[in-house]
Structure 1
Amino acid sequence: MMDGVAIAALLLLCAYILHKVRHMHLLVHALRDDTRQGQAVLFRQLEALQGLYISLGLRRALPWTRGWAASPDFLQELAAHALDEKPRCVVECSSGISTLVLARCMQLNGAGKVYSLEHDPVYARRTRRLLEQHGLAAWAAVIDAPLTPQCFGASSQPWYDSAALPPGMAIDMLVIDGPPQSVAEAARYPAGPVLFPRLSAGAMVFLDDAGRPGERAALERWAREFPELECASLPCEKGAAALRYKPAA
């Protein structure tokens, strides 16, 4: 017969095996849930991408929309606003697929122009080439805007050199998708003090990657410093925010 020590050891072994089986069971369920969620996200992006092709009537394929590029659902939000409200002056912080999408919207509207601030000369050349390939070069200007240290309140951080933007311009639509978050803790905050004073009444501001800590910090500062902006969240893959400029009467 087994002694007490052997029985206790056997019970411990059984408990350990049950614990491992339970852990594996939970892992399988978590993997299944992640897979379902990933499939849902992918399906939403495919729907948004199809919607873009239909709305814009593009004759050439859009570039890759994964990784650092703007996601199709965010691009669809931009296109829907640009086609519905027909902004005459659109400014972007960072260039890329969004420049192409917005330039096509200007072409379909028959008026307007996109001004895209780009700090990376390689990306600037790539975006200009895309615009030319799609026959949209007349509807967008990619501006070489290196990141230079600038003072914002008591602190300094790099931001686009925006001196090449047309003087006295009234911005009807502003898209903030740069600079990269590696530049500073709240890398996109300077868009507020630099560009918000140029917004026209009723202008819309779109912020991509709004779920990240740096972008959330920027939104909080903008809310304090620019109370005339009404903020709403957009259900986009990477998080996004839309801010409507409503100056006091």
Structure 2
Amino acid sequence: MSVEEAGETYLKVQRSNWQDETLTSKYERHKSRTYPQILEADRHFREKYGGLTTVMLSRRLSPIDDTDSWLTPWECNEMLHGGGIHRSVRNALNYHLDSFKFEWIAVTAPTRSAGTPHEHIYLWIDDPNNEITTEHMSPALNKHLKYCANAEEKHHQYRTDGTGGALTVQHSPDLIDSVPAEFFSITENSPTYDKTGKVLHNTQGAQYLASQLAHLPVGDYYNVQRENPPQALFEGAALAWISQYNWFRSSGGVPS
């Protein structure tokens, strides 16, 4: 099956599952379970950690090899997730954040241009004295560059002050004050107000992470009032569908 055929088959199967009351489509699972779980975790750690610092670490790779030939999506997925690279990155984080309490969620998403998988790791860190810098995080990024074939330094540039690039650090995380309207069911699964009626804000980083879930674009595709997403997103989602690796990962302390 070609990549294009895989994307078309994926859409047909997800649509069929969506319309079958006895089945739950990947889209429904991401919209009604995983998306609200990320927002709930974000609010949980904003409340738990009095001095919250958030970090986004992005792992990418080039889909073109040394001979200027395109790698298959399957090869890209293996390079991004296989060979113990998760353990290497995680060990670097654990070592350099040893004196801090922290939790994380990782989401793999396809690019809009080629459907190539890339991963965002979002960390919530208890950092009351604002000690966390990119120096704490760069060793984990370096493990990715060392062990992930086709991961290139030029695609992982970042500002040393943490304000942009492959590593971002926010001691006072930017917040959003609403949930995107297209994900209406999230308010049913993830309350947006506390017991006193106060709005429960989320960090912009967590909302962005949730929006990257691979199966969400199906909802836009079958909504006649929205523009069709790029076909590359569905080809990437088909890869997520058959992948032996979980495109949603989290640390043990993230609420379920």
TM range (shorter): under 0.3
Q: Which has the higher helix share?
A: 1
Which structure: greater strand fraction? 1
TM-score (ref. length: structure 1): 0.25
If asked which structure has higher relative contact order (CA below 8 Å, sep 6+), I would say 2
Q: Rg larger in 1 or in 2?
A: 1
Normalising by structure 2, we get a TM-score of: 0.24
